Structure 1
């Protein structure tokens, strides 16, 4: 990968080399969006699961949210995130260079919103809170299926491979 990446400088600082691999690996905007959505999805799914377990055990500053005595499930925030990113994508549909930061942020936010929503997929099916029951396992299955579709390994493979090479200890010729 490093030999094929034009402009690669093996003597540059590690962050610059990784940035080079990122820019080279994600010249295709769609590929970059899928990769960032994958990362957002993984961050959202892991965060939702960790925080709900902490809430259930009464650990840390986290607690259930409610409004007017009604529990707010995290899928509400996921749906809000999906609606917001969808709207922003409609508004900024062009691929203008100045829009790259917005495209990247909304791709990540889309992944987080999808994770928060799918983490409570069983609630969609059962129309009741079955998060901690056997029926709640369907939410984990939905996360796995959708997460697989956004797979970081598939969409970000060349970048991740190049980054792993950069991070690996250098061996001296004997």
Structure 2
């Protein structure tokens, strides 16, 4: 996806960068002030905490608006379970099946074959986690395809674009 082309942002994408907290770099120490200055500093601190509590409420609201919608997260979870769970259970099944075959002397399976097959299944499970999240449609109103190849292309493009912009900014 070219970086100069405009794209529609997702409902849960942040619109701007977050500001860093100034906290430690503010003003003089309260111990170095006289009585009037201390009272003034304490009054300012009370006002500041009142503003902070109201801004905390608004930041919680903004956070909930910026979070992944429930339908999208369920869709991602379902795909992750399918694309990761099936290979993982196959890996465990291959391990127990080969153990059963060896113990009952039905078939002499080489240990490296069991190891490589199980490792391959577990590796597919790990890849399936990422593919499950990226192949889900990130649009609330659209379900997407069964396998999710077109959604994967779009979402992977968004991901790489975000990596590039974060690299340029740092």
Calculate the TM-score normalised by the size of structure 2.
0.32
**Of the two, which has the highest radius of gyration?**
2
Q: TM-score, normalised by structure 1?
A: 0.32
Q: Which of 1 and 2 has higher RCO (CA within 8 Å, sep 6+)?
A: 1
